Amino acid sequence: MTDLQNYGPWVVIAGGSEGVGAEFARLLAAAGLNLVLLARKSGPLEDTAEQCRAHGVEVRTLAVDLVDSSAIDGLFDATADLEVGLLIYNAGANTCSEQFLDGDLADFQRVIDLNIGAAMRLVQHYGRPMRDRRRGGILLVGSMAGYLGSVRHTVYGGVKAFGRIFAEGLWLELRDYNVHVLELVLGVTRTPAMERVGLNFDVPGMRVAEPVEVAREGLEQLPNGPVYIAGGNGDDVARRNDFDRAKVVLGTHRFMQKLLGGN
């Protein structure tokens, strides 16, 4: 069992209001860590914060769009007085599912800004003092989409691939400083965001994880970076790493089409 006290006294969760992020918040509050929760919608943010406060910890909330760089300046101001021992970067589901040539570049850019630009800013800002203190953790939530190209995921798959490679390098750079880095790779997970986009979780043959399970796995595996495949999807990821890229990309595409009832 991971000793979560090593990651206190404060935890910043980017995307900490719903789904996996809210489960991280509840687990960490139950372990006695104070929280800064970030998300755009203030309703779910306050609901999760209240549940966490019931454990007797301090919780600050900030309704921010992480794609807005001035909002990130505000976040840094609002946390300047805190010793942050753990950063969890969970926000980052796909927000532009057009085929690449049909989509708006500005919409794709927001996917890049959220998953790469904002994540890099937060990691550098909160990671530097962790390295100085020789203690801390950085957990990035990734996706199996980052292991191969797929239709309508050209940019999303790319940013998730970036996240994994970034985490691996960061893990190497920080391992001598006792700062744990983990990319927690998720498959399909039953989150409110996925429910809102109408994902059918009941497709036979589709493995669906629950947010609380993968959050728990992430905290357990945090000292064992750089990458952990949650939800029992390790074999599927191994298949996606085949060097014959046409075989694996087309094979997975055809399987997904069958699963989702397409052509």
The pair of three-digit structure tokens given for residue 233, joined into one six-digit string: 């999807």
Q: Which of residues 107-126 bind ligand NAP (CB under 6 A)?
A: 114
Q: Can residue 46 be called a binding residue for ligand NAP (CB under 6 A)?
A: no
233 binds ligand NAP (CB under 6 A): no
Q: Please identify the residue of the shown chain whose CB is closest to the bound ligand NAP.
A: 15
The distance of Cα 11 from the centroid of its chain, to the nearest Å, equals 14
The answer for residues whose C-beta is within 8 angstroms of residue 123's C-beta and 6 or more apart is 87, 89, 138, 140, 170
Among 62, 86, 141, 179, contact with ligand NAP (rule: CB under 6 A) = 141
Angle 120-45-18 (CA atoms, 0-180°, nearest 5)? 75
Q: Binding segment for ligand NAP among 3-11, 96-104, 169-177, 187-195 (CB under 6 A)?
A: 187-195
Inter-CA distances, 240 with 46, 127, 170, 211, 243, Å: 39, 31, 23, 23, 9
Query: Does the footprint of ligand NAP cover residue 34 (CB under 6 A)?
Result: no
227 counts as binding ligand NAP under rule CB under 6 A: no
CB of 44 to ligand NAP, least distance (A): 6
Among 34, 79, 90, 221, binds ligand NAP (CB under 6 A): 90
Minimum CB distance to ligand NAP smaller for 67 or for 135: 67
Cα(141)–Cα(215) distance, rounded to whole angstroms? 10
**Backbone phi, psi, residue 97, to 5°:** -105, 20
Residues that bind ligand NAP (CB under 6 A): 15-21, 38-41, 44, 64-67, 90-93, 114, 141, 143, 186, 188-189, 191, 193-194
